């Protein structure tokens, strides 16, 4: 899945946790894992054999998205605490099967939505919670992905059967943050989008050839990309609009052929608005407008944060630390399986909408018993969902 390295942050021999085993169908991946961690680490080509070990307390699942459901259900039913990379699954039914496994087994499930730990997100949440912009009414998100052709159109991400859509795969992060900042879950959604650029690129790798991910990162323009996936049937441009269950309106726009790579959030309240410039590379500026109307391009206040391009602005080690504390029973995590399910569900519904002429889609809820058990963050959305 490309995120296996996040587990490395949990290798802290003598400090409460260490990595003792790894499973992968790729011998090269297993060899690289052993070289990074410890030559004595146990290696498996069948994850089921690894899960049979009673001396393993927790597992990190960073397999490709389309494998998440199978791997997570097996690990939860084996009694392991599970760190599962986002998205929790690639369709709503898969999400709900994972939730059911967590509910019935009682095993702890943590989903790696690392954006909840990015400094700019935390600062925006603080400004909202402090009442600096009044009551949130609208959230607009623009997501620019310059490396789209290099990272998402050369391998399995480019195929619906494996990723569902990039609106789901990439957007699950941002939809989760929209829910977090907006204080509710998506209730209805509609979207539009299309494959506008990469579908016309004819330089494709052969099915038997290994994808060369980010092999020429400075190649420009996007139409000059080479070695794209043989099959490309996901959108490279998508736009979705949501209404949350508390009345907040939101939009998310995603483009995979821009020259820049960052996320721009605007949150509008009854008494002001905030907007970020930059997300985690270099200086990040959050501008606040909450004084009488006037033309003020820089806002009434500017909050400058130091960005770090490594580990998603420092978020990756923080989510691993939070998972370990959660497993030990020391804290309640900042994101729940219910949160993760609703972000994926919104992305799935938006994908259905854009492929069905933009029709409005209604959110299916989870059983209340699951929600009561699996919605464990202390800082949770205020709504209580009922079974439909």
Tens digit of pLDDT for each residue in 304-340?
998 666 665 677 888 999 999 999 999 999 999 999 9
Confirm whether 48 is domain-assigned: yes
- Contacts of residues 219-225 at CB distance under 8 Å and 24 or more positions apart, as own/partner, are 219/149, 219/150, 220/259, 221/257, 222/148, 222/149, 222/197, 222/198, 222/256, 222/257, 223/197, 225/149, 225/150, 225/153, 225/198, 225/201
- Residue 75 within any structural domain of the chain: yes
CA–CA distance, 244 with 315 (Å, rounded to integer): 26
Residue 242 tokens, joined: 């949501």
Domain, as residue range, for 80: 1-85
Residue 317: per-residue pLDDT: 86
- Supply the pLDDT for residue 312: 58
> Per the domain annotation, does 367 fall within a domain?
no
3 and 130 fall within a common domain: no
Structurally, how many domains does the chain consist of? 2
Strands 249-255 and 237-244, by their bridges, are: antiparallel
Is the Cα dihedral 150, 155, 161, 163 positive or negative?
negative
* Co-location of 156 and 290 in the same domain: yes
Q: What is the mean pLDDT of residues 156-162?
A: 98
Rounded Cα gap, residues 69 and 84, in angstroms = 10
Contact between 252 and 242 under an 8 Å Cβ cutoff? The reply is yes
CATH code of 274's domain = 3.30.360.10
CATH number where 40 lies: 3.40.50.720
Examine the domain organization and report whether 76 and 129 are in the same domain.
no
Asked, for residue 178, whether it belongs to a domain, the answer is yes
Residue found under tokens 């060369």: 212
Name the DSSP class of 129: H
Looking at the domain assignment, is residue 320 inside a domain? no
Cβ neighbours of residue 378 closer than 8 Å, sequence gap 6 or more: 332
Does 352 reside within a domain?
no
Position 98 in a domain: no
Mean pLDDT value across residues 45-59: 97
The percentage of the chain sitting over the pLDDT mark of 70, rounded to a whole number, equals 93
Is residue 351 pLDDT above 80, yes or no?
A: yes
Residue 251 structure tokens: 């939009």
- Give the pair of three-digit tokens for residue 269: 């309240």
Residue 185 φ then ψ, to 5°: -105, 155
Confidence of residue 94 (pLDDT cuts 50, 70, 90): very high
Boundary (domain end) residue, out of 315, 337, 367: 315
Number of residues in the chain: 388
The average pLDDT across 91-111 equals 97
Under the banding of pLDDT at 50, 70 and 90, the label for residue 13 is confident
Nearest-angstrom CA–CA distance, 250 and 267: 9
Give the domain-ending residue among 291, 315, 339. 315
Q: Are 88 and 341 in contact (CB under 8 A)?
A: yes
Q: Work out the pLDDT band at 264, boundaries 50, 70, 90.
A: very high
Mean pLDDT value of segment 67-71: 98
Q: What is the mean pLDDT of the segment spanning 71-79?
A: 98
Q: Tell whether the model's pLDDT for residue 281 goes beyond 80.
A: no
Model pTM score: 0.93
Q: How many CA atoms lie within 13 A of 302 on its CB side?
A: 10
Question: Last residue of a domain, which of 259, 287, 315?
Answer: 315
For residue 217, the 8-state DSSP code is T
pLDDT in tens, 203-232: 999 999 999 987 777 789 999 999 999 999
Collapsed DSSP state (helix, strand, coil) of residue 62 = coil
Query: What's the mean per-residue pLDDT of the chain?
Result: 92
Task: Report how far apart the first and last C-alpha atoms of the chain are (Å, whole number).
Answer: 34
Question: Quick check: is 370 in a domain?
Answer: no
Do 61 and 198 share a domain, yes or no? no
Least confidently predicted of 69-73, 214-218, 226-230, 349-353: 214-218
Distances (CA, A) of 32 to 5, 35, 37, 237: 10, 5, 9, 35
| 190 plus 280 within the same structural domain | yes
pLDDT band for 376, please (50, 70, 90 cuts).
low
């Amino acid at each position: 899945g490309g995120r296996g390295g996040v587990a490395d942050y949990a290798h802290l021999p003598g400090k409460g946790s260490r990595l003792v085993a790894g499973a992968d169908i790729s011998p090269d991946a297993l060899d690289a894992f052993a070289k990074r961690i410890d030559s004595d680490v146990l290696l498996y080509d069948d994850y089921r054999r690894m899960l049979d070990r009673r001396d393993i307390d927790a597992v990190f699942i960073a397999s490709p998205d389309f494998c998440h459901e199978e791997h997570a259900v097996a690990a939860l039913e084996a009694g392991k605490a599970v760190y599962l990379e986002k998205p929790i699954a690639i369709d709503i039914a898969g999400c709900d099967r994972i939730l059911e496994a967590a509910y019935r087994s009682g095993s702890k499930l943590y989903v790696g939505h690392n954006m909840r730990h990015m400094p700019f997100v935390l600062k925006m949440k603080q400004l909202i919670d402090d009442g600096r912009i009044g009551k949130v009414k609208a959230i607009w998100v623009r997501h620019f992905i310059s490396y789209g052709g290099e990272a998402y159109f050369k391998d399995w991400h480019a195929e619906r059967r494996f990723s569902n859509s990039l609106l789901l795969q990439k957007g699950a992060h941002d939809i989760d943050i929209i829910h977090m900042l907006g204080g509710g879950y998506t209730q209805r959604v509609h979207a539009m989008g299309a494959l506008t650029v990469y579908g016309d690129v004819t330089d494709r790798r052969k099915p038997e050839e290994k994808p060369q991910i980010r092999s020429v990162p400075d190649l420009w323009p996007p139409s000059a990309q080479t070695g794209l996936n043989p099959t490309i049937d996901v959108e490279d441009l998508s736009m979705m609009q949501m209404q949350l269950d508390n009345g907040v309106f939101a939009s998310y726009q995603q483009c995979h052929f821009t020259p820049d790579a960052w996320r721009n959030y605007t949150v509008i309240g009854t008494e002001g608005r905030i907007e970020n410039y930059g997300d985690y590379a270099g200086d990040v500026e959050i501008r606040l407008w909450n004084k009488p109307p006037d033309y003020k391009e820089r806002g009434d206040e500017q909050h400058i944060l130091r960005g770090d391009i490594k580990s998603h602005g420092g978020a990756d080690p923080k989510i691993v630390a939070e998972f370990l504390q959660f497993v030990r029973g020391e804290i309640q995590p900042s994101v729940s399986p219910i949160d993760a399910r609703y972000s994926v569900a919104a992305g799935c519904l938006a994908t259905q909408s854009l492929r069905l002429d933009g029709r409005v889609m209604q959110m299916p809820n989870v059983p209340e018993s699951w929600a009561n058990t699996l919605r464990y963050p202390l800082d949770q959305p205020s709504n209580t969902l009922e079974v439909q």
